[in-house]
Amino acid sequence: MDKLNWKILRVLDWKGREPTNKIAKAVKSNKDVVAYRIKKLEEKGIIVRYYPVLDMYKLGYNTSRLYFDLEEIGEEQEKKFLEFLDKEMKAGLIFRMDYPYRYGIFLWVRSVYDVQDALVKIKRWLGKALIKYNHSLICTFRQYPKDYMFGEERHETYRSLEPVEMISYDENDFKILKELSKDARLSTVQIAKNLKIPQTTVSAKIKNLEKKKIIQGYRAEIDFIKLGFMNYFLEIYLETNENLSQIESWANAHRNVVWLQKIIGTCDIEIEMEVKDRVELESLLNELRAKFKNIRKIVFWSQEYKKLTYLPSKSGGST
């Protein structure tokens, strides 16, 4: 990884659909050189994929999270469980945890009854291997650029998804979102070819989806582990929550914070961080404890994402 690669990653991290010529201009390099570098980053698995950041509330969905603790199961059975969560349950996010549960998933659902149906299916599949589970409803879902990678001292921007009214959309809108979720850098020409609709229609609809903020932006999924970083998830419990907004402000600015969530279910606020090692994590935890004296407890664990998708399997839109 040289300086040019880091500059390219910095652009794609927050602007995953940026045209190659604009990336080249931003990093002060040649278009062909940038295209070659991007291809190599993809081949090495440093760039995993490109995806749109979608406002699921505007699409008519709520975000439910399920945690599962399992008995010790074999590698092959664990692989089959992941395939089940992916193919059968259509989980949007699947992640492995080292504590206090083993796996977690995000489900995009219309109602709590959809969660109930999902739990029945998962319990039936796992049988006696399931020890316990936990359900939470995500109220605020905030995303930050990976500024810690690029030498920035603080965040200057973020994307926040919070409950809003559903916005109408049609079946072609949803099909386009599905294509972008497979690869957010697909050209409008290729999307039009895949869906057999005019390219002008595809371009107009993408612009409209962006204008309505259904599409919040586009990102590259970067394999931070290959770049020497670790992910930690923090559950923060407070004595009183009168300074919750100050903790949010701290997270909104801190360069190592990559996600923030407010939930109905367990703690007062959740923060996800990416750091070099456990030593850096401990330093950040001490900073939090010193700055906010009403923190009763911080529960944390490392986790690894197995799947990252931002679209349900079926459309719920209306014209």
Q: What are 134's strand-pairing partners?
A: 67
pLDDT of residue 318: 44
pLDDT of residue 243: 92
The CA distance from 154 to 245, in Å, is: 18
In sign, the C-alpha dihedral spanning 136, 70, 97, 13 is negative
Q: How confident is the model at residue 305 (pLDDT cuts 50, 70, 90)?
A: confident
Residues whose CB is less than 8 angstroms from the CB of residue 38 and which lie 6 or more positions away in sequence, other chains included: 8, 12, 20, 23, 47
The CA distance from 223 to 12, in Å, is: 13
Domains of the chain: 1-43 (1.10.10.10), 141-156+224-304 (3.30.70.920)
Nearest to 219 by CA among 39, 15, 20, 38: 15
With a cut of 70, say whether residue 3 has pLDDT above it.
yes
pLDDT of residue 94: 93
With a cut of 50, say whether residue 319 has pLDDT above it.
no
Nearest to 14 by CA among 159, 151, 225, 142: 159
Nearest to 157 by CA among 252, 251, 234: 252
| Segment 80-101 mean pLDDT | 91
pLDDT in tens, 162-213: 989 999 999 999 999 999 999 999 999 999 999 999 999 999 999 999 999 9
Q: State residue 56 phi and psi, 5-degree precision.
A: -65, -30
Write down the mean pLDDT value for the chain: 93
With a cut of 70, say whether residue 149 has pLDDT above it.
yes
pLDDT of residue 314: 62
Task: Give yes or no for a contact between 240 and 193, defined as CB atoms under 8 angstroms apart.
Answer: no
Establish whether the linkage from the previous residue to 145 is cis, with ω within 30° of 0: no
With a cut of 90, say whether residue 90 has pLDDT above it.
no
Q: State residue 89 phi and psi, 5-degree precision.
A: -90, -15
With a cut of 50, say whether residue 36 has pLDDT above it.
yes
The CA distance from 43 to 57, in Å, is: 34
| Segment 157-162 mean pLDDT | 95
pLDDT of residue 282: 96
